[in-house]
Amino acid sequence: MITLRDRRTGDLFDRWPELGEKRRRLLDRCWAEVFRHHLLDELPIEELLPHFDERMGRPSKDFHIVIGVLLLQQLHDLSDAATVEALAFNMAWHHALDVRTEADCYFCEKTLRNYRRLFIAQGLDEVLFRRLTDRLVRAFAVDTSRQRMDSTALRSAMRSLTRLGIVVETISKFTRELERFHPALHALVDRDLVRRYVDREGPGCFANTAPSASKRRLDEAGQDLLHLREQFRTTVAADLPGYVLLVQVLHEQFEITEGQDDDTSSAIALPRKPGEMPCDGISSPADPDASYNAHRGLGYMAQIVETYAEDDDPAGPTGPRPPDLITHVAVHKMTVHDGHRVPDALDDLADRSLTPKMLLADSHYGSADNMALAQGHAIDLVAPARTAKGCSSGRLTLEDFSLDEDGLVVRCPNGVSPVSTSAAPAKLQARFDLAICRQCPNRKRCPVRADSRDGLIARFQYTPARAENQKRRLYESSDVFREAYRWRAGIEATMSRLKHQMNLARLRIRGMPVMRYTVNLRALGLNIRRCAAVQA
């Protein structure tokens, strides 16, 4: 049964008469006052109403307190037990949530978990972040015309596993799940297999595998994986999440060689070569949603967009500086490139009327497609172009040539002018005297090559997009670009605060839905802390 309380009626008397002047002033300047004054009435309680009946059932907890407790738990990075204790005894929590009755001071841990599970299943964390962030932007008059974007890698509570470890943990997880839900089918599993993968005792246990023998043991584990798939593929066990995971690991890690006439009894599972395995495959059965990136490692990627203000006025600030607020959060797999997340970020900001006039980002976001997309939203995307591939190997690139306004070569790096130039919609080219090129000291590093059809000419071909990138790189060396782009580095401090102050570097969770929930609410918590710092 739905329980709500009218919060529009104020207090006739001070609810905290025992507080002295100093303690009262501290309470009014901390995060609790920001939450109570600006956010408590903005909580999306209407999103929870369809899940409860107005007349039937036991009375629910006050929805304002329910949503507030979930948010404050992430704001302070508390366990469920510590959250229940804080709600019962913490005065700042009582002030923030406007707790008035004894019944509102207590949650049991199961109630907290049930509401959190409902919150995650309905995706209400994104609704909560957007609504409350928009409220803070209006309340503190934050200028959203200048924003910056970056990403950070997050790791869930899981350990790194070898290929053999992934297979062993997958079989162990399926076997334990089978014993829990289908004991009769679990009795059909080979006892020796249970001993080696679940009990992990006695000879042949995979936990005692030496690194030198792991390759041979991987073949054995693959056969056990294949045997379990065939044994339970036509039973009700095939609907278990552990079985679905088992089949996925089998196809990612092994290549199945079927017997004659599709005889599955003689099928063999051969380990795939590392280059044949998918990059977004399962890295740990404990968290199948996590993925691997060679640069960032194992885990998840979080995209962050925040506002910023240029505050280097020599005369000093003329008034209180508005806080830098995180306006967009998105969590995705490690295998998704940063540049592919720009359209979603711009659409989200546009839907909430927070579109910036200038967006700073690093080179991962500065592709030609993203530049064109930003122009379509009337946004100046300030991001450096990616470094030319040949620069890292010491080769000359198009950036070393002098071009005219049309992108045609005027001079090579050695000062030689081309014999002729030509332009087409898909290709530009410059033709040089081959005899002069053969005497050039940079001929081994130069991209100009002899023409196979004309023995007197050396040809250099490139696309119009590369010519545009050359213009971008010249602009990036100007003082105008450097002055605008130097403010991008400030978002690195935000990433550090998210990881260390909000404890995103030490998470106790697993799975994409829970990761999104946690990152959204902790980013919102950081916004609340920043607003409280301005208000203090």
Residue that finishes a domain, picked among 276, 305, 338: 276
Whether residue 344 sits in one domain with residue 250: no
Question: Is residue 510 in some structural domain?
Answer: yes
Whether residue 402 sits in one domain with residue 371: no
Look-up: residue for tokens 């990612």?
A: 252
Tell me, what's the pLDDT at 293? 85
Which tokens in the block code for residue 116? Answer: 């959190």
pLDDT digits 0-9 by tens, 265-303 = 678 889 998 888 888 889 899 999 999 888 888 899 999
For 55-69, 200-214, 323-337, 508-522, which range has the lowest pLDDT when averaged over its residues? 200-214
Over range 195-204, report the average pLDDT. 81
CATH number of the domain bearing residue 322: 3.30.420.10
Whether residue 419 sits in one domain with residue 376: no
Distances (CA, A) of 97 to 114, 116, 236, 395: 20, 17, 47, 63
Q: 370: number of CA atoms within 13 Å, CB side?
A: 26
Residue that finishes a domain, picked among 276, 306, 331: 276
User: Which alpha helices (H) appear in 281-341, and where do they start and end?
Assistant: none
* Strand extents, DSSP E, 308-412: 326-333, 358-360, 380-382, 402-403, 409-411
Going by pLDDT thresholds of 50, 70 and 90, the confidence category of residue 509 is very high
Please give the distance of CA 15 from its chain centroid, rounded to a whole number: 42
pLDDT digits 0-9 by tens, 101-149 = 888 888 899 999 999 999 999 999 999 999 999 999 999 999 999 999 9
407 against 184, higher pLDDT: 184
Whether residue 341 sits in one domain with residue 259: no
Look-up: residue for tokens 């998210």?
A: 498
Which tokens in the block code for residue 19? Answer: 């507080």
Taking each helix axis as running N to C, give the angle between helix 512-535 and helix 63-76, from 0 to 180 degrees, rounded to the nearest 10.
90
Reference 75, options 87, 63, 61; nearest CA is 87
Tell me the torsion sign for CA atoms 224, 229, 230, 232: positive
Distance CA 231, CA 238 (A): 10
Tell me, what's the pLDDT at 150? 96
Question: Is residue 285 in some structural domain?
Answer: no
Distances (CA, A) of 267 to 252, 258, 272: 16, 4, 15
Which tokens in the block code for residue 189? Answer: 């599993």
Whether residue 349 sits in one domain with residue 482: yes
pLDDT at residue 527 greater than cutoff 90: yes
Question: Is residue 458 in some structural domain?
Answer: yes
Q: Are 161 and 220 in contact (CB under 8 A)?
A: no
Going by pLDDT thresholds of 50, 70 and 90, the confidence category of residue 247 is very high
Whether residue 350 sits in one domain with residue 234: no
pLDDT at residue 58 greater than cutoff 80: no
pLDDT at residue 208 greater than cutoff 60: no
Tell me, what's the pLDDT at 203? 72
Tell me, what's the pLDDT at 2? 66
Mean pLDDT, the chain, integer? 88
Domain count, the chain: 4
Tell me, what's the pLDDT at 375? 92
Tell me, what's the pLDDT at 147? 97
Distance CA 213, CA 398 (A): 51
Whether residue 265 sits in one domain with residue 228: yes
User: Which alpha helices (H) appear in 149-308, and where do they start and end?
Assistant: 163-181, 183-186, 191-194, 214-232, 241-253
Tell me, what's the pLDDT at 498? 96
pLDDT digits 0-9 by tens, 183-194 = 999 999 999 889
Reference 206, options 225, 188, 187, 189; nearest CA is 225
Tell me, what's the pLDDT at 259? 62
Distance CA 87, CA 32 (A): 13
Going by pLDDT thresholds of 50, 70 and 90, the confidence category of residue 405 is confident
Question: Is residue 258 in some structural domain?
Answer: yes
Supply the range of the domain harboring residue 239: 163-276
> β-strand 326-333 against 358-360: which pairing, if any?
unpaired
Distance CA 308, CA 292 (A): 32
Q: Are 522 and 502 in contact (CB under 8 A)?
A: yes
Whether residue 516 sits in one domain with residue 382: yes
The number of helices, as runs of H, and strands, as runs of E, in the chain is 19, 14
For 25-39, 59-73, 315-329, 421-435, which range has the lowest pLDDT when averaged over its residues? 315-329
Tell me, what's the pLDDT at 84? 95
Distances (CA, A) of 92 to 26, 68, 229, 242: 10, 12, 55, 44
Question: Is residue 497 in some structural domain?
Answer: yes
> β-strand 449-450 against 457-462: which pairing, if any?
antiparallel
pLDDT at residue 261 greater than cutoff 60: no
pLDDT at residue 18 greater than cutoff 90: no
Q: Are 74 and 68 in contact (CB under 8 A)?
A: no
> β-strand 409-411 against 420-423: which pairing, if any?
unpaired
Q: Are 481 and 382 in contact (CB under 8 A)?
A: yes
Question: Is residue 468 in some structural domain?
Answer: no
Tell me, what's the pLDDT at 385? 84
Whether residue 195 sits in one domain with residue 97: no
Reference 362, options 380, 383, 333, 340; nearest CA is 383
Cβ within 8 Å of residue 192, ≥6 positions away? 204
Taking each helix axis as running N to C, give the angle between helix 80-89 and helix 63-76, from 0 to 180 degrees, rounded to the nearest 10.
120
pLDDT digits 0-9 by tens, 353-396 = 999 999 999 999 988 899 999 999 999 999 998 776 666 667 88
Whether residue 269 sits in one domain with residue 182: yes
Whether residue 445 sits in one domain with residue 317: no
Whether residue 247 sits in one domain with residue 298: no
Question: Is residue 344 in some structural domain?
Answer: yes
Residue that finishes a domain, picked among 222, 245, 276: 276
pLDDT digits 0-9 by tens, 462-497 = 888 888 888 888 788 888 999 999 999 999 999 999
Q: Are 174 and 185 in contact (CB under 8 A)?
A: no
Q: What proportion of the chain, given as a percentage, has pLDDT over 90?
A: 54
Written in H, E and C, the secondary structure of 453-472 is CCCCEEEEEECHHHHHHHHH
Question: Is residue 287 in some structural domain?
Answer: no
pLDDT at residue 425 greater than cutoff 90: no
Tell me, what's the pLDDT at 277? 86
